Amino acid sequence: MWTKESLLELIQTRLQDYPLIVVANREPYLHRFVSGRIECVPPVSGMVSALDPILRACGGTWIAHGSGSADRRTANAQGHVRVPPGNPSYTLRRLWLSKEQEDGYYSGLANAGLWPLCHMVFTRPVFNPRHWAMYRQVNELFAQAVLEEAGDEPAFVFVQDYHLGLLPRMLKEKNANLIVAHFWHIPWPIPEVFQTFPWKEELLDGLLGNDLLGFHLRCHCQNFLDTADRILEAKVDYERFEITRGRKVTVVRPFPISIDFEDHEALAGSQAVEADIERWRQQLGLTGDEIVGCGIDRIDYTKGIPERLRALDRFLEKYPDYQERLVFVQVGVPNRMHVRQYKMLDDEVDSLVEEINWKWSTDFWRPIVYLKHQHSPVQMMALHRLAAFCMVMSLDDGMNLVAKEFVASRIDEDGVLILSRFTGAARELSQAMVVNPFAEEEVAEAIHQALEMSREERGKRMQKLRAVVAENNIYRWAGKLLSALLNFEFPESTQAELEPEPVLLTRKQEIGISPVLPPAASRSQKSIKELESASGGRFS
């Protein structure tokens, strides 16, 4: 099993000779003004949780958009600040974007264009040429920053998500000494859908600048291969999951992301969480007979919040015995509210909550408690532990870590997870009650079954779910991805005009690919096989 220690061992053994540069829209630490003083805040992010320990261990550089109100005050003239505070071990380089750039690149092309394009939730994407121009411009700014940090020396570059789809090609054209990997956190659509994107060839070409391109699921990898095959002049090898364009080979692999199970489990059993469970009881006015359910989401049209509320309404209609007993807590974190589709969703959810509560409420009870603000991780764990069931109803989702967080929080091995079949998490968490979120009647029945399920059955399901999340933890994701990245050799020639092609040392076998004998390594470092032998197979 991958652990924090085995990941650090891999980093210290294989990654110390070359710099690692992480590039993401989101920064791992932001500074903001609070009551006249500066406060440093790490964002709540699974991606940050996975990559921060890697950079702490290898002393790399993280390049990101500086979005905190005090970010400029704490960075030097080049945008550099050492992090984490108190024990600085790597460099954060912040880029400054104008409001026009942020609106066009982030709110516009990324979130009003690519987000709905890649999520099959029947929301029409917005394809604005001005947004695309700004997306290209901001990708160029990130490329310039990476090239400045890397210099002319060999370096590993790890690119995060759909905000930076053009970056890999830009980097490769300027510096052939870079080995570039990219993780695309959201689904990849089928070719027929992607063909509607007006700049499809340029975006695909940008992504094929990568040496390694990762998605959560094999089906997303397959969709990407099919898309490249359909749209570009490229050789697609479906057996090896590789795409060759010109002389450049891009390896495509699935890497399902997860959480730090051990840390989550430990915090869930802390006194702080116990205290917050009692605070929730008081806030909700629980007297002892009520049954609590929960949903925790960003206010996003992919998360199925209206569908969930309608299913709860139908449940109360079908099973009146649960009226005045069920209290469903919906946490909705405001998100991208200046994008029109999100404003419309926000209004719809407000209206549904008001309508359902008016329909069923009594003098001393209302079925839905809607809390529209961010809560701390401790508060969320307390709510998870208090709830009899948790609903994750995404209409389309690359993975969804809320489902895994609920499972990790249940140190009592109780509770029921009701999970959309359209989440990547449903591929792993088969012991959840897997439902079609579009099927109102089916979801209502799942709620009833969850509440009627015996304690023994709930325990058996939760034990199996917890074993899966413990095994497939965030360190496994990071370790597998980093191991695949380290399988590439830097080119022997440094002449940019030659565009040398990286050579794979080994072929990973996560998707049934036949092994290829590796050439001799060019560095005097332990191989992955040597590490596996020395560590009892932790690196497999």
Give per-residue pLDDT as tens, 90-123. Answer: 999 999 999 999 999 999 999 999 999 999 998 9
Query: 52 pLDDT band (50/70/90 cuts)?
Result: confident
Q: What is the pLDDT of residue 95?
A: 97
Q: What is the pLDDT of residue 496?
A: 41
Q: What is the mean pLDDT of residues 242-248?
A: 94
Least confident of 321-325, 340-344, 503-507: 503-507
Query: 44 pLDDT band (50/70/90 cuts)?
Result: low
Rounded distance between C-alpha atoms, residue 286 and residue 275, angstroms: 15
Q: What is the mean pLDDT of residues 177-203?
A: 97
Torsion angle of the four alpha carbons 12, 17, 18, 21, in this order, in degrees rounded to the nearest 10: 30
Query: 1 pLDDT band (50/70/90 cuts)?
Result: confident
Q: What is the mean pLDDT of residues 486-508?
A: 54
Where in 403-536 does DSSP place strands (E)? 416-420, 433-435
Q: List phi, psi (to 5°) of 172.
A: -65, -35
Dihedral (CA of 138, 142, 145, 151) sign: negative
314 membership: H or E segment, kind and range: helix 305-318
- In the chain, % of residues over pLDDT 90: 78
Q: What is the pLDDT of residue 247?
A: 87
Peptide bond into 491 cis (omega under 30): no
442 membership: H or E segment, kind and range: helix 440-452
How does pLDDT run across 382-415, given as a tens digit for each residue?
A: 999 999 999 999 999 999 999 999 999 999 999 9
Instruction: Estimate to the nearest angstrom the gap between the alpha carbon of 504 and the chain centroid.
Output: 27
Do the strands 178-183 and 155-160 form a parallel or antiparallel pair, or are they unpaired?
Answer: parallel
> Which residue, chain included where needed, has tokens 């440094």?
494
Whole-structure pTM value: 0.88
Query: 141 pLDDT band (50/70/90 cuts)?
Result: very high
How long is the chain?
540
Rounded distance between C-alpha atoms, residue 23 and residue 393, angstroms: 30
Residue pair 433/446 in contact (Cβ under 8 Å)? The answer is yes
How does pLDDT run across 193-237, given as a tens digit for each residue?
A: 999 999 999 999 999 999 999 999 999 999 999 999 999 999 999
The per-residue pLDDT of the chain, averaged, comes to: 89
**Conformation bin of residue 190: beta by default, left when phi > 0, alpha when psi is -120 to 50:** beta
Q: What is the pLDDT of residue 91?
A: 96
Where in 290-396 does DSSP place strands (E)? 291-298, 326-333, 368-371, 389-392
Q: What is the pLDDT of residue 45?
A: 67
**Tokens encoding 485:** 């990245």
Q: Is the pLDDT of residue 517 over 70?
A: no
- Cα–Cα–Cα angle for 270, 452, 304, nearest 5°? 70
| Ranges of CATH 3.40.50.2000 domains, the chain | 4-257+476-534, 261-471
Rounded distance between C-alpha atoms, residue 92 and residue 201, angstroms: 32
Considering the four listed CATH numbers 3.40.50.1000, 3.40.50.2000, 3.40.50.620, 3.40.190.10, the one that applies to the domain covering 4-257+476-534 is: 3.40.50.2000
244 membership: H or E segment, kind and range: strand 242-245
Q: What is the pLDDT of residue 540?
A: 36
Query: 58 pLDDT band (50/70/90 cuts)?
Result: confident
Architecture of domain 261-471: 3-Layer(aba) Sandwich (3.40)
